[in-house]
Amino acid sequence: MSALPVRVRPCRVTAVVCAAFDEPTDTAVLAVREVVHAAGVELPPQPRHRPHVSLAAARVEAGSELERLVDVMSDVTGVHEPFELVLDEVGSFERGGVLWLGPPASSQLAALQQAVTSALVEAGWPAAFGQRSDPAVWIPHCTLATRLSRPRLRAVQAHVRAGYRPIRGSVDALATILVGGNGDTAHLRLG
């Protein structure tokens, strides 16, 4: 009796390309995260990923296809310079119970998001998050907490807003992270 051939299904991952902040901005966002924690929201001691603004995502195979995605993003970073960004809003998405910090309209952030989205599509990867990452409807935000009930979300949002001072920082890189992963798969400096 012979064994049947084993078919190994390629491992597909969701790679998220993010606007990454400089270190002082990361530190300031993490301090706000501590305010959220102090308000009674259970958070892991260390977040799984750096503070960031998700720009676009693609489903790719781990390995060479993921490496190709990073190469494509390297081309994007070469034509975009670091820029200042103010996180002046404490916002929420009630549907997902998401509390976030967000910037006012930023032509530089919008251009970076459009460039990342276009580069992924041109490379043959459709948007993994569907219409939410469409540049026409995208809402830039840096997530602080998720899965809060609506009453809890409103209470924590009010608590954070009460003492919040806008964070003036810089976007200086593109980071590629994996949904369900930890840390960066890639961190590419702008410019």
Residue 2 located in a structural domain = no
Half-sphere exposure of 167 (CA within 13 A, CB side): 28
Residue 1 located in a structural domain = no
Strand 186-189 and strand 167-178: the pairing is antiparallel
Calculate helix-pair angle for 150-163, 23-38, nearest 10 degrees. Answer: 120
Residue 5 located in a structural domain = no
Sign of CA dihedral 137, 127, 17, 13: positive
Residue 165 located in a structural domain = yes
Going from the first residue of the chain to its last (191 residues), give the mean pLDDT of each consecutive group of 10, the final group possibly shorter.
54 92 98 96 89 93 91 95 98 94 95 95 86 79 95 97 97 94 90 93
First to last CA, the chain: 61
Domain count for the chain, please give it. Answer: 1
Q: What is the CATH number of the domain that holds 72?
A: 3.90.1140.10
Residue type, 84: E
Residue 148 located in a structural domain = yes
Catalogue the E-assigned strands of 135-180.
142-145, 167-178
Residue 96 located in a structural domain = yes
Q: Which helix (H) or strand (E) holds 148?
A: none
The residue count for the chain: 191
Residue 105 located in a structural domain = yes
Name the residue range of residue 115's domain: 13-189
Residue 166 located in a structural domain = yes
Short-list 108, 113, 166, CA closest to 138: 113
Lookup: tokens for 29: 């966002």
